[in-house]
Structure 1
Amino acid sequence: MERIGILLADLFDEREFLYPYYRVQEAGYTPVVLGPEAREYRAKSGFAWKAEAGAQEAPALRGLLIPGGFAPDYLRRSPEVLSLVRRVAEEGKPIGAICHAGWVLVSAGLVRGRRVTGFPSIRDDLENAGGLYQEAGVVVDGNLVTAQGPKDLPGFMRAFLDLLGG
């Protein structure tokens, strides 16, 4: 069964993790939860989930999802996470980043010249990294799907799953 990676670090947004986790299962994929290291991570609410592997041990993936919250600020500090994100991008596989997850794309060097969106507070970061910020709930540019926040989860996941099936 094809695997979809989902990145976690402390202070992730549990809505932006759980909804995609179950949607990829419903679509017939196996979610693989990854973090900077294999351990339990706590959401902003205190909810916890264990990453089954560190980013450097990631298996072959069909796509990658990055939930928001404050976790992306931790994820972007991990060279192993950034290496994984770049690898998936170089393979042309779908990457979905919601809310503050655009920070990970910025640090991985993936936004220059790309149409992107994200939580309004990271607009400057996306634009300063060369991204073409769009005032839209969900934006697709090639293999990249970005979304502004939890209210956009249905459209975000439809677009991500469309890229997987396309």
Structure 2
Amino acid sequence: MDHKKVMLLVEDLYEEMELWYPKYRLEEAGYQPVVAGPEARKVYSGKHGYPCRSDASVYDLKDQDFMGIVIPGGFAPDKLRRIPKVLELVRNFMASGKLVAHICHGGWICASAEVVSGFRLTSTPGIKDDLVHAGALWTDEPVVVDRNMVSSRRPDDLPLFMAECLKFLGTR
């Protein structure tokens, strides 16, 4: 296993800042981010039109090859949470105590994977009810860390979000 790999999810209508900022911060810190979407080498379009070519397909990846997963927001999570393989990956990351980090609408995937019950977390207020109904203990804070889950609300929270993600990864 390459212990320096971190998966980032992508699909059309992803929030550009919430994918690119973590990707670059991970690279700066010596990690190898792998951008994964439903299809490998496909160009996905962000909410504001910025393209992102995936490195791999989620169908070809195994959680044991990664230190964790970062789930950007936008409207991509609503599409990704309908893919059983994505939910399986998130469940496996959670079960093994690896990093599961989500920002903005990214929490939708964790709610659909049924891994938020009893976790204190945050998100965009727009999905607060979804997370609470899934059993999460929702709070309106810039970043929340509960066990192996790191969550944030919006792009403005990215510096604090990534500081906590990198802190978590550095302890592994």
The answer to whether 1:84 aligns with 2:86 is no
Q: TM-score, normalised by structure 1?
A: 0.97
1:9–1:75: 8 Å Cα contact kept in structure 2? yes
- Offset of residue 130 of structure 1: 0.4
Q: RMSD between aligned alpha carbons?
A: 0.9
Q: Deviations over 1:95-135 (max 9, x none)?
A: 11000001000001111010010001111001000000011
Q: Which residue of 2 aligns with 1:122?
A: 127
Q: Deviations over 1:50-89 (max 9, x none)?
A: 1121112125101110000011101101111111111111
Q: Using the alignment, how far apart are the partners of 2:149 and 2:142 within structure 1?
A: 14
Report 1:19-30 matches (<5 A): 19-30=21-32
Amino acid at match of 2:17: R
Runs of 4+ with >3 A deviation: none
The range that moved more, 133-142 or 48-57, is: 48-57
Q: Using the alignment, how far apart are the partners of 1:139 and 1:19 within structure 2?
A: 18
Q: Which residue of 2 aligns with 1:9?
A: 11
Contiguous gaps of at least 5 residues in structure 1 = none
Number of matched residues?
166
The range that moved more, 2-11 or 51-60, is: 51-60
Contiguous gaps of at least 5 residues in structure 2 = none
- Offset of residue 40 of structure 1: 1.6
Q: Please give the secondary structure, in 2, of the residue aligned with 1:95.
A: strand
- Offset of residue 90 of structure 1: 1.3
The answer to whether 1:150 aligns with 2:121 is no
Amino acid at match of 2:61: A
Amino acid at match of 1:127: V
- Offset of residue 137 of structure 1: 1.0
Q: Using the alignment, how far apart are the partners of 1:36 and 1:147 within structure 2?
A: 24
Q: Please give the secondary structure, in 1, of the residue aligned with 2:98.
A: coil
Q: TM-score, normalised by structure 2?
A: 0.94
Q: Which residue of 2 aligns with 1:44?
A: 47
Q: Using the alignment, how far apart are the partners of 1:104 and 1:10 within structure 2?
A: 15
Q: Please give the secondary structure, in 2, of the residue aligned with 1:74.
A: helix
Q: Please give the secondary structure, in 2, of the residue aligned with 1:130.
A: coil
